[in-house]
Amino acid sequence: MSLNGINFDDDYKNLKSKQDNKTAGQSPQDGRKISISFRNNEVNLNASQVQNNAQSSGDISALLSKRGSADSTSNISVQKQSASTKKDTYVSNGENQADSSTEVHSSSYQKTADTKKTSSKTKDEEIQQKISPEDYTVEGLKKQYPPDRYNVIDNHGQITVTDKATGKKILKVFSEKGFTYIDEFDEKGKSKLFSKYDKNGNLYSYRVNNGEEVFPLVETLYADICAKNSFGLPTTGKDILKHIKQITPENVVEILEAYKKKGETLEEAINSEWGLDKKVKEQILAHIKKCLEEHYGFDKNYKNDNSRVTNEYYQGANYSVVQKGDVIEITNKDTGKKSRIDFNKLLKGADIKQAVELKSIIQKLPGEVLEDMAVECTNISSEGGFLTNWLLKTFSTGWMGVSGHYSPFDDKISLNNYDSATIVHELGHAIDNRNILKYSTQSEEFKKVFEEEMKAYEAAGNQRYDGTYRAVPNYCTANEQEMFAECYTMLMFGKPGSSSSELILQYFPKTLEMCKQILQETRNRPPEERH
């Protein structure tokens, strides 16, 4: 088997033969406490903490999304589909995946409550695992819903099926970007099952009663990773390599985001799974990385021999930018000066998705910006949550809507928004920071020009940005440091680069010229005085 050029045949065979031979002396390292055993065509989960949730929701995702302490107070049995319905199990690239001994299906299963109290059984909504898209065209639906009883109406590509006698909606179907969406309604006209199918007709995701979106592939991978052997020890599902192949450039981001809701990233789950061979882990992550690179457009062989900043406010030098694997080589063609950025160092700490997304953005930045980054920045990562700006507020209060943060103590940039303007803005702070807390914009000359133009700005009835409301166009007025960062972004990207461009040009033209002067003086200094 080959995953986009990655050969898994040998490792897949070895993995299948090793999984059930773990010694009783081994112990899990990742803290998983839910007990899952796989025998024949049955999956048994013993978890008291998920009993009530599972009995009420009828959703397999409710079972697999919780890791409760195992006991014998509840026994939830998930039956695989019968042989007659195996053709509708999860299919990837036209291949039938129904032979998986660890695959968990989200439909056609029964849940048995504690027999001491009740013997009643509930059944989940029937969810088709595979459809024929032609069955959900107007013609196809008319065959399923007789015209004497139902109306099938196409309204600009959105097909609705209604009951003639009651006028109630039965079904709504539409297609978008290669997916087919089917919305089924209950007696009250509310959505009871919203399903999404890919271009091959395979079930991609679904929602029951407008609940959380469930991805069958995510549930399958989660079951693979959480599998136990006959000793009750973690033993990665034998078909994980086959299931990983179902991750593609088209679905990789959604699958990774959905898996993250389980409490850890898929990358973390794979790396912490001690029942999986190191080589297989590397190949699985290489496949995910390759899918992400294609999705985000990262080019390992990227080359730009004429990378030059040219706009009406700034004319820069000509640079050559060459991507070689995870290293970018930057050459100033006017001076011959060379710089390099090693993504493995710059993006250390970022997860696989964050790293690939950032690489795809950074490699396309102007050579002049990349040269600044090579000197000024030690690390770029995703901090998440609510970022703060130490210059105006304490670390605990924060600013509203802050997209990024630069630390003057270690020259690290943390991001909430992954876009070139945010990265360049934060890099502007690094350039301004000559050394720890020694900002160029704190010079008497710069402060004098800035304050004079600020007085004129406020005299015209304008308000400065104070961090208590989101008024992006005046963000540059917060202080001298934010003004420089916004001016740097504008100089490197032109007028559209900064949301403050119009305001800077109208009220702070002298400050903009001072920023150009600081930029040139900074670039003329040796690296040890800049960083």
Query: Per the structure, how many domains does the chain have?
Result: 3
What domain range includes position 160? 133-201
The DSSP result for 355-366, as a single string, is HHHHHHHHTTS-
Cα→Cα distances 445→106, 408, 415, 510, 517, Å? 68, 22, 32, 11, 11
Q: How many CB atoms lie within 10 A of CB 80?
A: 20
Asked if the model's pLDDT at residue 297 lies above 60, the reply is: yes
Can you state the angle between helices 367-376 and 420-432, rounded to 10 degrees? 50
Residue 211 three-state SS: coil
Residue 24 three-state SS: coil
Which of 160, 179, 201 is the endpoint of a domain?
201
Q: Which of 88-97, 159-168, 436-445, 466-475 has the lowest mean pLDDT?
A: 88-97
Q: Which two tokens stand for residue 530?
A: 């800049």
Asked if the model's pLDDT at residue 81 lies above 70, the reply is: no
Give the per-residue pLDDT at 341: 97
Pair (450, 522) in one structural domain: yes
Please write the tens of the pLDDT for every residue from 108-132: 222 222 322 222 223 344 789 999 9
Pair (460, 326) in one structural domain: yes
Please write the tens of the pLDDT for every residue from 222-233: 998 887 665 666
**What's the CA gap between 118 and 104, in Å, rounded?**
25
In a domain, 207, yes or no: no
In a domain, 206, yes or no: no
Which of 201, 230, 258 is the endpoint of a domain?
201
Pair (33, 137) in one structural domain: no
CB 145, CB 161: distance < 8 Å: yes
Higher pLDDT, 472 or 399: 472
Give the per-residue pLDDT at 465: 86
Which of 201, 226, 241 is the endpoint of a domain?
201
Pair (317, 438) in one structural domain: yes
The DSSP result for 312-330, as a single string, is TTEEEEEEEEEEETTEEEE
Residue tagged 């403050």 (tokens):
500
Can you state the angle between helices 278-296 and 252-260, rounded to 10 degrees? 120
Mean pLDDT, residues 267-293 taken together: 92
In a domain, 413, yes or no: yes
Give the per-residue pLDDT at 353: 95
**What's the CA gap between 390 and 387, in Å, rounded?**
10
Geometric angle at alpha carbon 37, from 35 and 41, rounded to 5°: 145
In a domain, 406, yes or no: yes
Torsions phi, psi of 27, nearest 5? -140, 150
In the predicted model, what is the mean pLDDT of the chain?
76
Q: Assign 150 a pLDDT band (cuts: 50, 70, 90).
A: very high
In a domain, 357, yes or no: yes
In a domain, 186, yes or no: yes
Pair (289, 226) in one structural domain: yes
Question: How is residue 130 annotated by DSSP?
Answer: B
Q: Which of 235-244, 306-315, 347-356, 456-465 has the lowest mean pLDDT?
A: 235-244
Q: Which of 33-47, 439-453, 466-480 has the lowest mean pLDDT?
A: 33-47
Pair (62, 179) in one structural domain: no
Pair (477, 452) in one structural domain: yes
Q: Which of 117-126, 132-141, 151-160, 375-384 has the lowest mean pLDDT?
A: 117-126
In a domain, 277, yes or no: yes
* pLDDT cut 70: percent of the chain above it: 69
With b for 16 or more beta-carbon neighbours within 10 A and e for fewer, the 145-158 pattern comes to: beeeebebeeeeee
Pair (266, 352) in one structural domain: no
Query: Closest by alpha carbon to 109, among 45, 66, 203?
Result: 45
Q: Which two tokens stand for residue 238?
A: 């034998």
Mean pLDDT, residues 500-526 taken together: 94
Pair (89, 162) in one structural domain: no
Asked if the model's pLDDT at residue 65 lies above 50, the reply is: no
Give the per-residue pLDDT at 438: 78
As beta bridge partners, residue 7 has 2
Q: Assign 472 a pLDDT band (cuts: 50, 70, 90).
A: low
Residues near 14 by beta carbon (within 8 Å), at least 6 away in sequence? 277
In a domain, 16, yes or no: yes
Asked if the model's pLDDT at residue 53 lies above 70, the reply is: no
Pair (159, 241) in one structural domain: no
pTM of the model: 0.70
SS percent in the chain: helix, strand, coil, step 5: 40, 25, 40
The DSSP result for 29-83, as a single string, is SS----EEEEETTEEEEE-GGGHHHHHHH--HHHHHT--PPP-SS--EEEEPPPG
**What's the CA gap between 88 and 127, in Å, rounded?**
10
Pair (457, 489) in one structural domain: yes
Q: Assign 468 a pLDDT band (cuts: 50, 70, 90).
A: low
Please write the tens of the pLDDT for every residue from 413-423: 888 778 899 89
Residue 470 three-state SS: coil
Mean pLDDT, residues 478-502 taken together: 91
Higher pLDDT, 399 or 210: 210
Give the per-residue pLDDT at 518: 95
**What's the CA gap between 33 and 27, in Å, rounded?**
11
Asked if the model's pLDDT at residue 440 lies above 70, the reply is: yes
**What's the CA gap between 275 and 28, in Å, rounded?**
9
Pair (237, 154) in one structural domain: no
